[in-house]
């Protein structure tokens, strides 16, 4: 590593199904590219390395003969994340690249911690796996589950996690909001607004956080 190269920053977009992460990521990617005169490295979770993409397939598919138990689901999310952090995110940051993540650790805390009711276990696995590594900035796109799921329903067949009952997503949302309140690296964006208003709020948060 060249020690004169300043480390890059890790920016993450989070939110429930249908929150609008796809268009938010395109917007943030463009902002970061103009800010740094270089495209960020884009990642998605679970996934983003060959091994982690295999795990993504495992956690998304429905297997009636061998249903994934909650603990295995959680450990698979962290196995995928450990690979991605070690082999993609940390090397990119060390080389001065910025990294833009479609989901990261907050998803596990919200879905497996809040949704599955295993927050202490998830926090323990998170601490052991990531050892304090975390994004510089997370934009959490907040949306009531009913609104988000209605938007997502227009996209076709639902995967295994998308098929959870609405109260699973309510618990996940409450956990997102509780954790965001306690962490000033997380910005809450009201994603129930029309898309142009959501994008205006995202750009204003980026200006405030990254260019001040
Ligand atoms: N998961 C987990 O449990 N634990 C973990 O640790 C991690 C993940 C990392 C990943 O699925 C699943 O894994 C996810 C969480 C879980 N499952 N669930 N539920 P994924 O990567 O396949 O899916 P996703 O990340 O949830 O969704 P997405 O498709 O990438 O993005 P999105 O935010 O859900 O939706 P979108 O495609 O951006 O927007 C949906 C539609 O709404 C689309 O037609 C838009 O045009 C429309 N839209 C967006 N914004 C608006 C506004 N403002 N107004 C009106 N319409 C809008």
Tens of pLDDT, residues 113-139: 999 999 999 999 999 999 999 999 999
Q: What is the pLDDT of residue 159?
A: 82
Residue 154, domain member (yes or no):
yes
Residue 161 contacts by C-beta under 8 Å, 6 or more apart in sequence? Answer: 59, 60, 111
Picking from 116, 114, 115, 113, the residue whose alpha carbon sits closest to that of residue 124 is 113
CATH number of the domain bearing residue 192: 3.40.50.300
Which pTM does this prediction carry?
Answer: 0.95
Picking from 12, 36, 15, the residue whose alpha carbon sits closest to that of residue 136 is 12
Number of domains comprising the chain: 1
Ligand 1 pocket, Cβ-based, cut-off 6 angstroms = 15, 17-23, 45-46, 77, 103, 107-108, 111-112, 151-152, 154, 161-162, 194-195, 198
At 153, is the pLDDT very low, low, confident or very high (cuts 50, 70, 90)?
confident
Question: For a pocket test of ligand 1, which of 13, 14, 20 has the largest count of ligand atoms closer than 8 A to its C-beta?
Answer: 20
Q: Does 16 have pLDDT greater than 70?
A: yes
Residue 5, domain member (yes or no):
no
Residue 4, domain member (yes or no):
no
Residue 83 sits in which domain range? 10-210
User: What is the Å distance from ligand 1's center to 109 Cα?
Assistant: 17
Q: Does 6 have pLDDT greater than 90?
A: no
Q: What is the pLDDT of residue 84?
A: 98
Residue 1, domain member (yes or no):
no
User: What is the Å distance from ligand 1's center to 77 Cα?
Assistant: 17
Residue 66, domain member (yes or no):
yes
**For residue 198, which atom of ligand 1 is closest to its CA?**
53
**43 close to 100: Cβ distance less than 8 angstroms:** yes
Q: What is the pLDDT of residue 154?
A: 80
The answer to whether 128 is annotated as binding is no
Residue 194, domain member (yes or no):
yes
Q: What is the pLDDT of residue 152?
A: 85
Residue 3, domain member (yes or no):
no
Residue 169, domain member (yes or no):
yes
What are the tens digits of pLDDT across the range 154-187?
877 778 888 888 999 999 999 999 999 999 999 9
User: What is the Å distance from ligand 1's center to 110 Cα?
Assistant: 14
């Amino acid at each position: 590593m060249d020690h004169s190269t300043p480390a890059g920053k890790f920016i993450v977009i989070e939110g429930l199904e249908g929150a609008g992460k796809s268009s938010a990521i395109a917007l943030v990617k463009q902002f970061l590219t103009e800010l740094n005169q270089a495209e960020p490295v884009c990642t998605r979770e679970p996934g983003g390395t060959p091994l982690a993409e295999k795990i993504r397939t495992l956690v998304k598919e429905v297997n009636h003969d061998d249903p994934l138990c909650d603990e295995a689901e959680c450990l698979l999310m962290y196995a995928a994340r450990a690979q991605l952090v070690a082999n993609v995110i940390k090397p990119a940051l060390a080389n001065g690249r910025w990294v833009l993540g479609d989901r990261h650790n907050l998803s596990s805390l919200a879905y497996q911690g809040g949704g599955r009711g295993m927050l202490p276990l998830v926090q323990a696995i998170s601490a052991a796996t990531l050892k304090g590594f975390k994004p510089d900035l997370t934009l959490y796109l907040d949306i009531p589950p009913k609104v988000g799921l209605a938007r997502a329903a227009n996209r076709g067949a639902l995967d295994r996690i998308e098929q959870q009952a609405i109260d699973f997503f309510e618990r996940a949302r409450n956990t997102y909001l509780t954790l965001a309140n306690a962490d000033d690296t997380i910005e809450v964006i009201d994603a129930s607004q029309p898309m142009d208003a959501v994008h205006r709020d995202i750009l204003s948060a980026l200006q405030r956080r990254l260019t001040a």
